[in-house]
Amino acid sequence: MALISKSTLKKRGLDKLKHKANELLNRTLDQHVTLAVTGLSRSGKTAFITSLVNQLINEGNGTKLSFFDPVHNGNFIAAKRVPQKHYHVPRFDYDSAISALTSEPATWPEPTHGISELRLAIRYQPKNSILKYATDMATLTLDITDYPGEWLLDLPMLKQTYQEWSQQTYSLMTSSPRAEYSNSFLAKLNEIDPFACASEELLSELAQEYTALLHTFRHQLGLSVIQPGRFILPGDLAGAPILEFFPFPGLDKLDANDYQNAPDDSFIGMLRSRYLEYKEQVVRKFYREHFLRFDRQIVLADCLKSLNKGKESFADLELAMSMILESYNYGKSGFFSRLFSPKIDKLLFGATKADHVTPEQHGPLVALLNQLIHQNKQHLNYESVQVKTLAIASVKATQSGMSKHKGIDVPVIQGQSIGHANLEESAGIFGQKITVFPGAVPSQLPNDDYWQSNSFNFIEFAPLSGLNKQQCLPHVRMDQVLQFLLADKMI
């Protein structure tokens, strides 16, 4: 048996001690950010997270993150996926999304329907902070959560009684463009005696009809104000009786005492108690279990699709944005601060799919999104939440250039069409490589004159072909997104 000298033993002991000290140091020095990504359905959340992860894990492989200081200054080392923190939350399916985008032919990732999570460990070399004296490699743990913006639309319900919510929803359902679709449902409700003993079967049937209407508002009319948000994106609550209620007309005309004393098994009693239960078990629970954990938030908005759908769709997006922003409006006097105390310190608004318009339209697109969030944004600034707005394309699907039209140079984009946002106009352009000037984005909230004299030619494009998993996806301003959301944690 070989003898180990005293000095070797001493050295081993010292190494062990050093390793332990380093480990301890790293544990205390390591940074952590919980980043939440939200936006209404189809706003581009999955594409965004996929691109963000792809840019970070492939850094160095043809990456173009010039505006992200850790990369620009050379202190970014590497990023990798690591097991997520919360095992009860579904995993964000990066592999399927990146496989779709890099397959031949390339396709967009499938729609998702609830909350999901992914964790990245980002290694970097501290250069400026106090960390540089202690260690030459630190880790930023980034937890990313994807959740539907529709869930934020429910927040205002927390301060409404069932009666108030019914009245507000009823007035939406009896105005254009919802009225035409809601008439027959509302006529059925008018036939019901609110104090009669409730039939669970009928309640469930009517709730399904109401849910179908919400789907029509969202997908056919392109509207954004959908309440309750879980009805169209139920997650694991699909089919649960807590999602079986709906607004009831004429509650303001009932005798207040009769309404208050309506028994729990009456029609109105049952609707009311499910509404209260929904607020407690679904809305409040989401804020308590998830929202309060978030450090930073990006809200994605597809302004172009709403512009393309027309005046009513755009007005509805405006209303939805103001409802969503209530969740961030938690200054000292805000309604939200009385319920919860969130800790978000940076809030980014992204106008997505900016590659659908020519580059000189990005300025107006940002200006337009700024207008949409204007009032709230000022309030948030005042309350020291740092806010920024950017026009981005998570996965750039077009090339931009110039083309001659009647002897004049016009900016154009080129890509492979997968259809037109207005379905009836899709025929004939499917799968074709097309070159278009899709239209000018108004930099102000559009007025009636705009809607009469302008049209927007928004075409959906397939992802570019020939993309590779080990390379960075083409993008617009994802580096600026990373700079705003992460750079200050990596100095």
**Contacts with ligand GTP, residue ranges (CB under 6 A):** 39, 41-47, 108-109, 111-112, 148, 352-353, 355-356, 393-395, 397, 460-461
Residue 286 tokens, joined: 């989401």
Strands 433-436 and 76-82 turn out to be unpaired
Q: Which is nearer to ligand GTP, 124 or 294 (CB)?
A: 294
Mutual orientation of helices 45-57 and 478-486 as an angle, nearest 10°? 80
Q: Which is nearer to ligand GTP, 56 or 262 (CB)?
A: 56
Q: How many CB atoms lie within 10 A of CB 420?
A: 18
Q: Which is nearer to ligand GTP, 475 or 489 (CB)?
A: 475
Q: Which is nearer to ligand GTP, 41 or 166 (CB)?
A: 41
Nearest CA-CA partner of 33 in 118, 151, 115: 118
Stretch that binds Mg ion, among 27-35, 55-63, 105-113, 198-206 (CB under 5 A): 105-113
Q: Which is nearer to Mg ion, 112 or 308 (CB)?
A: 112
Q: Which is nearer to ligand GTP, 233 or 373 (CB)?
A: 233
Stretch that binds Mg ion, among 41-49, 59-67, 192-200, 387-395 (CB under 5 A): 41-49
Determine, following the binding rule CB under 5 A, whether residue 63 of this chain makes contact with Mg ion: no
Determine, following the binding rule CB under 5 A, whether residue 46 of this chain makes contact with Mg ion: yes
DSSP 333: T
Q: Which is nearer to ligand GTP, 119 or 305 (CB)?
A: 305
Backbone angles phi, psi at 121, to 5 degrees: -110, 120
CB of 52 to ligand GTP, least distance (A): 12
> Binding partner of residue 362 among ligand GTP, Mg ion, none, CB under 5 to 8 Å per kind?
none
CB of 316 to Mg ion, least distance (A): 21
CA distance 155 to 279: 9
Task: Kindly tell me which residue out of 84, 112, 227, 313 binds Mg ion, with binding defined by CB under 5 A.
Answer: 112
Determine, following the binding rule CB under 5 A, whether residue 50 of this chain makes contact with Mg ion: no
CB of 423 to ligand GTP, least distance (A): 14
CB of 481 to ligand GTP, least distance (A): 12
> Binding partner of residue 314 among ligand GTP, Mg ion, none, CB under 5 to 8 Å per kind?
none
CA 204 to chain CA mean position, Å: 30
Residue 405 tokens, joined: 């039209």
Q: Are 138 and 124 in contact (CB under 8 A)?
A: yes
Q: Which is nearer to ligand GTP, 41 or 227 (CB)?
A: 41
Q: Are 55 and 469 in contact (CB under 8 A)?
A: no
Residue 224 tokens, joined: 């954004």
Q: Are 325 and 376 in contact (CB under 8 A)?
A: yes
Beta strands in 50-176 (DSSP E): 76-82, 116-124, 138-146
Residue 472 tokens, joined: 């960075």
> Binding partner of residue 39 among ligand GTP, Mg ion, none, CB under 5 to 8 Å per kind?
ligand GTP
CB of 91 to ligand GTP, least distance (A): 15
User: How far is residue 434 from each of residues 119, 360, 383, 428, 467, measured CA to CA in Å?
Assistant: 38, 19, 46, 11, 20
> Binding partner of residue 84 among ligand GTP, Mg ion, none, CB under 5 to 8 Å per kind?
none
340 three-class SS:
coil
Q: Are 194 and 206 in contact (CB under 8 A)?
A: no
> Binding partner of residue 480 among Mg ion, ligand GTP, none, CB under 5 to 8 Å per kind?
none
CB of 338 to Mg ion, least distance (A): 32
- In the chain the first and final C-alpha atoms are separated, in Å, by 50
Q: Which is nearer to Mg ion, 149 or 228 (CB)?
A: 149
- Residues lying near Mg ion in the complex (CB under 5 A) are found at 45-46, 112
